[in-house]
Structure 1
Amino acid sequence: MENIKKAYIAGGCFWGMEELFRTQTGIKDTEVGYIGGENDNPTYRNHPGHAEGIEITYDASETSFKNILDYFFRIHNPTTIDQQGNDKGSSYRSAIFYQNDEEKETAQEVIDIVDKSNKWKADAVTTLEPYSTFWQAEPEHQDYLLKQPNGYTCHFERFDTFL
């Protein structure tokens, strides 16, 4: 259990992010929810300032925070401010919620690698935000694309690894 860790990221609609991350090596669990906003107990209809985020539980002996971020930057567009696909607003921002200085440094390192790769036409606008409470989304949003296989998503693998 000592190798089990959590990561918190946001990159647009949480349904698509969860669906893609759930199958990655070392990922033990995913939950969608709200993070980084103004109110306690946010809901889908009331989450001012919160991003639609994902809590990723992973085994650090099988994958790393850096590998998670590499995949994160491959499945969403980090160059659009407050937008992914058809979704617009701060709920859909690209953000990494770091839990300590090491995660913050790793996140900045990966952003620098992504920017230097020139795979995207512009630099990442992904924000680095200190971790705040992660509020689990309503049950109907958990595992949404497993329940609704033809549901909306704007997430897909765009590139091979940046690392």
Structure 2
Amino acid sequence: MAEQLATLAGGCFWCVEAVFDDVLGVSAVESGYIGGQTANPTYKQVCGGDTGHAEAVRLHFDPDMISYGDLLDIFFHVHDPTQLNRQGNDIGTQYRSAIFPHSPEQEAEARAAIARAQVEQNKPVVTTIEPLAPWYVAEDYHQEYFEREGSSNPYCMAVVAPKLQKFRKSYAARLKRQEA
């Protein structure tokens, strides 16, 4: 089967990108902006909260190796889908939890994944399913940010590293690189 795309917003894109970089069957992860009204937004504009965009990742994946549903289950495992317009200390609509399906089949699977996630939560899941919108690639310095800056950036050490560790522990069979 041909490679497919998945577009997900789960707070800071550095966190989500770092997790999906490790997932077997995901060939590329790109950080960017989606769901707003400003063409070609900058990071500064998006962080200001006035463009309507979410920080998101676009995944290229092989559905013969990992299903879209499995990607969504990982997505719900590594962020808090019960926080409206925030993830931890990152607050604003740019940090919302959202899924941007690329097909009616992905939309149906997104609804099913939200229902599965709701069973695991003791608060309502607020993740939205939003229409696919223009995708704007984030600035180069945001791509593979954790890989390059993670060990020296305090935010990464405090926020990204624990999420990545949680993912690696729970999804060891899905890792591209097995821990030594």
- TM over 0.5, shorter chain: yes
Counterpart of 2:61 in structure 1 is 58
TM-score w.r.t. structure 2 length? 0.83
Letter in 2 for 1:96: I
Q: Following the alignment from structure 1 to structure 2, what is the Cα–Cα distance between the partners of residues 121 and 52? A: 26
TM-superposed CA distance for 1:51, in Å, is 0.1
Say if 2:92 is the partner of 1:89: yes
- Cα deviation digits, residues 70-104 of structure 1 (max 9, x gap): 00000000000001011000000000001221111
For residue 77 of structure 1, what is the aligned residue in structure 2?
A: 80
Spell out the pairing of 1:67-146 with structure 2 (5 A cutoff).
Answer: 67-117=70-120, 120-146=121-147
Secondary structure at 2:4's aligned position in 1?
A: strand
CA deviation map 1:140-163 (0-9, x unaligned):
1111111112332435137957xx
Identity of aligned residues (%): 37
Q: CA deviation at 1:121?
A: 2.4
1:93-127 C-alpha deviation (Å, 9 max, x unpaired): 0000012211111000011111123xx22121000
Q: How many residues align?
A: 158
Q: Which runs of 4+ in 1 moved over 4 A?
A: 158-161
Structure 2 SS opposite 1:16 = helix
Is 1:7 matched with 2:6? yes
Give the Cα–Cα distance (whole angstroms) in 2 for the partners of residues 136 and 115 of structure 1.
31
Structure 2 residue runs without a partner (length 5+): 172-180
Aligned CA-pair RMSD: 1.5
Q: Supply the distance in 2 between the matched residues of 1:129 and 1:38 (Cα, whole angstroms).
A: 14
Could you say what secondary structure the match of 2:100 adopts?
strand
2:5·2:102 contact (CA, 8 Å) conserved in 1? no
- Which sections of structure 1, spanning at least 5 residues, go unmatched? none
**Counterpart amino acid of residue 142 in structure 2:** H
Looking at structure 1, the residues matched to 150 and 129 of structure 2 have their Cα atoms a distance apart, in angstroms, of 32
Q: Where does residue 175 of structure 2 map in the other structure?
A: none
* Aligned counterparts of 1:95 and 1:114: Cα–Cα separation in 2: 13
